[in-house]
Structure 1
Amino acid sequence: MNMRRQVMARQDLQARPLFRDAGPDSCPSDVPCNRLKAECLACKFNYSCVYGEEVTVMCQPKQGIKCIDKSGAFERKMICRYCYQTASSDHICDHNSTCQVNSAPRQRYIATCNVRPDVLCLGRRQFHKNLLCNWTRGYSWWTALVLSIVLGGFGADRFYLGMWQEGIGKLFSFGGLGVWTLVDVVLVAAGYLGPADGSLYIS
Structure 2
Amino acid sequence: MALPRERCLLWLFAVFRCLCFLNAVSVDTDKCDELRLGQYICETPKINDVTQEPENCTNYTAFVPCIPAPNITCRNYNGIVNTFNGKEVGFYKPFSCRNVTGYSYKVAVALSLFLGWLGADRFYLGYPALGLLKFCTVGFCGIGSLIDFVLISVQIVGPADGSSYIIDYYGARLTRLVIDNDTYRKKQMEQ
**TM-score between both structures, scaled by the size of structure 1:** 0.42
TM-score (norm 2): 0.44
